[in-house]
Amino acid sequence: MKIQLAENYGFCFGVKRAIKIAEENINAATYGPLIHNSKEIARLDKDFKVGLVEDFTTFKSGEKAIVRTHGIVKDELASLHASGVEVIDATCPYVTKPQEIAQEMSEAGYDVIIFGDEKHPEIKGVKSYATHGAEVVTDIPDVKKLKLKERVALIAQTTRKVEDYMAIATYLIPRHKEVRVFNTICNATFENQEAVNKIATQADVMIIIGGKNSSNTKELYSISHDNCSNSHHIEDETELDFSWFEGREFCGISAGASTPDWIIQNVINAIQKSVN
Ligand code: F3S
């Protein structure tokens, strides 16, 4: 039986980069969870002595602090630097960009609007860079409540749907003299979905690996199942049922955005062993 991974699966570029940075900085600690996967955080702690700190004020001079992929608030970053902490920035470059735009546009006199979730760490961070403040909106009714000047700059949270973002831009453009719309959406999540769609149409058994409560993994499973009825969502190799592979020729594999490569590899090894 042929076993093949989808063209895009699992961790996105930003998360892979952050994990590499953590592995290269033994004895450092991340400020807030580096990523949303407890098994991976435990592995970094066990194998690389990379701990987890929830309160940035507890870092002491000379200690190493890793800034998580979603970034942190500007004042907290400045305070870490000021207190002599060695700051290692693992903020995803796709998150750093909107931070820079927020600052630049705010300083240039634009009203900055951020389309996203106000409570999300990424948005708290991006907002903090707008020197003169920013408004966070989730839909057009939110935008309607704002008192905006003639010049407006629009930024989106990296994981937002482009169609929803365009609806807000379309609302703003005829109502203001100048609207600067920045495409800050990251395609990583959608790339995994497109890739699973493609491979599931060819495979006669599909394995989707990821947390049972991971919404992006469930979405991948649903897309897979639409194209291949012999699709299975598992968390790790212990949940495999080898009867799924009997008489099958092509096994496709995908994984959610928070599934580490080593779990995926364990699953592949177990399947290979069972069919040989
Ligand atoms: Fe990942 Fe960075 Fe995009 S963390 S989802 S590549 S914004």
pLDDT along the chain (276 residues), means of 10: 96 91 95 81 93 92 94 95 96 96 98 95 96 97 96 94 93 97 90 95 97 82 96 96 96 93 96 89
Kindly give the distance from the C-alpha atom of residue 246 to the centroid of ligand 1, in angstroms, as a whole number. 37
Q: Number of helices (H) and strands (E) in the chain: give both, helices first.
A: 10, 12
**Domain assignments of the chain as residue spans, ordered by start:** 2-9+188-275, 13-92, 94-185
pLDDT at 25: 96
Strand-pair partners of 233 = 208
| Chain mean position to CA 222 | 20
Provide the whole-model pTM: 0.82
pLDDT at 40: 86
Tallying the residues shown for the chain, one arrives at 276
Q: Give, as one character, the DSSP assignment of residue 69.
A: T
Kindly give the distance from the C-alpha atom of residue 92 to the centroid of ligand 1, in angstroms, as a whole number. 6
Q: How many CA atoms lie within 13 A of 118 on its CB side?
A: 8
pLDDT at 224: 97
What number does the ligand 1 atom closest to the CA of 187 have? Answer: 3
CATH of domain 13-92: 3.40.50.11270
Retrieve residue 200's tokens. Answer: 């599931």
CATH of domain 94-185: 3.40.1010.20
Asked whether the domain spanning 13-92 has the same topology as the one spanning 2-9+188-275, the reply is no
Residues identified as active-site: 122
Report domain 2-9+188-275's class.
Answer: alpha beta
- The Cβ of residue 161 has, within 10 Å, a number of other Cβ atoms equal to 13
pLDDT at 73: 96
